[in-house]
Structure 1
């Protein structure tokens, strides 16, 4: 019997069987757009959207490009297309890759006890707004297991303590390999990942946290923010790197508060901002709209 998850994937793949995106990052120089456009035209592609951005074009800066296109019988032409484009890539010293829309990204969600970010992702997935395959949810607590499993998604409870952290991460990495995961999302997963874990998924782990940082580091940030009388509540979603909470930022959001809001109000407002910011960041990653460069990102609309 075909599951809801499988039916969603099959429908999207059928509707996008000839669609792909080309993402490029390279030294800025004349002729890049012309070369890319001519290449796609010569291969019979129809460009649906093309976005470009240059950093410091006057000073020999960096050029970024995202092109979405349709090409008939694309699934049969992937290898040939990439082999021929490699010549252009070499000429312009490009970092480039084709992302095929019908290759649905497989996303693992990591969660602890708080459910607001997890539920937002699952709701958007059910509604068809989040195009991904979610084959597994992993948690260091058992609390959210029934919620996840009722949607037919396998849930793995892997406890983490200081003494068992390395063993737990090995189990997690084994699951990511077993389920062929393309991207992991930390939906308020309250654990610091080891450098070894991060190295296994470079720029493929997305996190969410409050935007008080570098202020109010550590425990009870909302209580301390309330005591300080903050006027803005925010959230930041970013790629995870070895530098704690300092990876390339994908998306941020804020909401104003005032003297009438107590600490519990700030937490509630913060949760609302967190879940929407994370959902947008994940969506943009799944749609291949993000290019990371150094410790920044270019996010195409």
Structure 2
């Protein structure tokens, strides 16, 4: 018999007995813990926990489970969420003219490696409409001319918001989307949008960062995935990785290595998000791998 499964995530002021109280509640309500992880941050004095469990008592429904856990949440001052473990989050992908991350995410999605639904792809260019069509995913071309007035940018973003609402989007992924989002949209997307970029910032900004890095003789190529905030490329970091390079490699080779690292880092970040493994801790994140 298959039982409903949930993922509980929570954070709260650190105190004695949290694990005991939470696990005790689940046991009393006919739930079997499948895996659990927790972390107490001594600096912020906050406690974080992720519990994957099966609800084995058919007499206790979803509404009852949530309502009665809310009482415990209030007593422990929990910031908590209870997720259906079998629900596939709905992800909106956004891209400009560089497609390696988009292509990688679509392959992982189609292969079943990424447990999501992708209802739409948004781009300010037409380059990848055929790629989207090959996966039978609607492609929305929302152009924004260089130097366009603020009103045009806000109108374009309003269409993005409409798509998010229409498709009930849970996560927005900027898969090398090269437009800066307005502060208003960043606020709306707080904790629900992930960006990817090379890790040369702030040393090598602007055009051709890999050529700049090659000129300086860098020895490490890296990528960073982070939550989107109003502070450009400075949101809470989710994942980073690096690859060693050497003097024999030209700028194009460095760029190719960088693209590979970006794909892997972004895929990890998206997977961890949809599996509810990321909890925000101020300007940092707690990742339960």
Q: Please indicate, yes or no, whether the TM-score normalized by the shorter chain is above 0.5.
A: yes
Matching of residue 122 in structure 1 with residue 106 in structure 2: yes
Matching of residue 52 in structure 1 with residue 38 in structure 2: yes
Unpaired runs of at least 5, structure 1: 1-14
1:62-141 alignment, distance < 5 Å = 62-72=46-56, 77-141=61-125
**CA shift for structure 1 position 77:** 2.0
Q: TM-score, normalised by structure 2?
A: 0.95
Deviations 1:25-82 (A, max 9, x none): 11111000000000000111110001010111xx781110000001137798222111
CA distance in 2, matches of 1:76, 1:234: 48
Kindly report structure 1 stretches of 4+ aligned residues shifted beyond 4 Å: 73-76
Deviations 1:139-196 (A, max 9, x none): 0001100111121110000001332211111111111111110100000011110011
Q: TM-score, normalised by structure 1?
A: 0.91
Count matched residues.
285
CA distance in 1, matches of 2:3, 2:130: 35
Matching of residue 240 in structure 1 with residue 222 in structure 2: no
1:73-222 alignment, distance < 5 Å = 77-161=61-145, 162-163=148-149, 164-222=152-210
SS in 2 for 1:84: helix
SS in 1 for 2:196: strand
**CA shift for structure 1 position 86:** 1.1
SS in 2 for 1:66: strand
RMSD: 1.7
Q: Which deviates more, 217-226 or 258-267?
A: 217-226
Per the alignment, residue 292 of structure 1 pairs with 280
8 A Cα contact 1:16 1:101, kept in partner = no
2:4 is matched with which residue: 18, 24, 27? 18
SS in 2 for 1:131: coil
SS in 2 for 1:135: strand
SS in 2 for 1:110: strand
1:105–1:76 distance in 2 versus 1, CA, 3 Å: farther
**CA shift for structure 1 position 103:** 2.4
SS in 2 for 1:166: helix
1:144–1:175 distance in 2 versus 1, CA, 3 Å: same
8 A Cα contact 1:19 1:74, kept in partner = no
